[in-house]
Amino acid sequence: MNKKMTITSIQKAKGVQPLVMITAYDALFAKLLESSSDMILVGDSLNMTFGGKPDTLSATLEQMIYHTKAVCEGAKNSFIICDMPFGTYTSKDDALKNSIKVFQETKADSVKIEGGADKSEIVKHLTSNGIAVCGHIGLLPQAFRSEGGYKIKGKTKEQKQQLLTDAKTIEEAGAFCMVIEGVKPDVAREVALSVDIPVIGIGAGKDVDGQVLVFSDMLGLFEEFTPKFVKKYLDGASLIKDALQNYSDEVKSKEFPKEEHTY
Ligand code: KIV
């Protein structure tokens, strides 16, 4: 059994060993991916993957708590991060109240909040009140509607400077690590080098301190669309559909169940 990562071991990995983060939303998958990941993220991407919605904006705190509880049951030996959904950390008080609820009702080790320098006061308030925070800078899925789409960051000098400022202020506010999403690889590299905490990339190239992928993307379960940054490690959808068709054919032909499947 793998040793559960801690904030100290996660931070010590920087510059030594790339960190592996994968999302999970239920106990079954959490258990399957536990041995191959250093951290499990209960991402609000579950609103799309699990809930079939077009974006993450309508995910609720109650949903995140429900799924985080399930993941904690399935992966008892993993460092688990619960994504704070849209609208649950707009003020320091709300952020703390809602994060305390996550910590009290689940066994999550940390919360994740989207935003850079603009969220540093909130991150500081959480970390100084006993809540471990993973930051999230660059492309912010929760800003999808306000920014008019998913916008890759780091394309201009100003954006690069903003990302460096975001990373520094989030680090100074006490975050133990951060996700950097949808950022030009050379800029993501500079950001990772500019801070002492691990910077975990998604669509940000290889020169960061680790990678995170949504499990259903990397297992090829989501067929509608594959973002450019995703590598499919399995053609999951085809494998599952073939197996289901096989079952359906065998039920119809009465080949299943056989004697060994019968009491
Ligand atoms: O919600 C999520 O799954 C995420 C990852 C894409 C980092 O935030």
> Which ligand 1 atom is the nearest neighbour of the CA of 200?
7
Is residue 181 part of the annotated active site? The answer reads yes
What's the gap in Å between 3 CA and the centre of ligand 1? 24
What's the gap in Å between 16 CA and the centre of ligand 1? 24
Q: 7-232: which CATH number, 3.40.1710.10, 1.10.1240.10, 3.90.1640.30, 3.20.20.60?
A: 3.20.20.60
DSSP bridge pairs for 234? none
Query: Active site residue: 62, 73, 181, 260, which one?
Result: 181
pLDDT at position 1 is 62
Whole-number Å distance between alpha carbons of 125 and 134: 13
The closest alpha carbon to 114, from 175, 197, 72, belongs to: 175
Supply the residue whose CA is at minimum distance from atom 3 of ligand 1: 43
Q: Is the pLDDT of residue 126 over 80?
A: yes
Q: Is the pLDDT of residue 21 over 90?
A: yes
Q: What angle do CA 93, 80, 182 make, to 5 degrees?
A: 80
Supply the residue whose CA is at minimum distance from atom 8 of ligand 1: 43
pLDDT tens digits, one per residue of 137-178: 999 999 999 999 999 999 999 999 999 999 999 999 999 999
Determine the residue of 57, 212, 228 to mutate for testing ligand 1's pocket, defined as the one with the most ligand atoms within 8 A of the Cβ atom.
212
What's the gap in Å between 256 CA and the centre of ligand 1? 40
Q: Is the pLDDT of residue 223 over 90?
A: no
Which residue spans of the chain are classified as CATH 3.20.20.60?
7-232
pLDDT tens digits, one per residue of 185-218: 999 999 999 999 999 999 999 999 999 999 999 9
Tokens of 227: 């973002």
Q: DSSP letter string over the chain?
A: -PPPP-HHHHHHTTTTS-EEEEE--SHHHHHHHGGG-SEEEE-TTHHHHTT--SSSTT--HHHHHHHHHHHHHH-TTSEEEEEPPTTS-SSHHHHHHHHHHHHHHS--SEEEEEBSGGGHHHHHHHHTTT--EEEEEES-GGGTTTTTS---B--SHHHHHHHHHHHHHHHHTT-SEEEEESB-HHHHHHHHHH-SS-EEEESS-SSSSEEEE-HHHHTT---S---TT---S--HHHHHHHHHHHHHHHHHTT-SS-GGG--
Residue 240 vs residues 17, 80, 221, 250: alpha-carbon distances, Å: 34, 27, 9, 15
Pocket of ligand 1 (CB under 6 A): 23, 41, 43-45, 83, 179, 181, 202, 212, 214
What's the gap in Å between 255 CA and the centre of ligand 1? 43
pLDDT tens digits, one per residue of 34-93: 999 999 999 999 999 999 999 999 999 999 999 999 999 999 999 999 999 999 999 999
pLDDT at position 68 is 98
Contact assessment for residue 88 and residue 47, using Cβ atoms and an 8 Å cutoff:
no
Q: Is the pLDDT of residue 220 over 80?
A: yes
Q: Is the pLDDT of residue 2 over 80?
A: no
> Which ligand 1 atom is the nearest neighbour of the CA of 23?
3
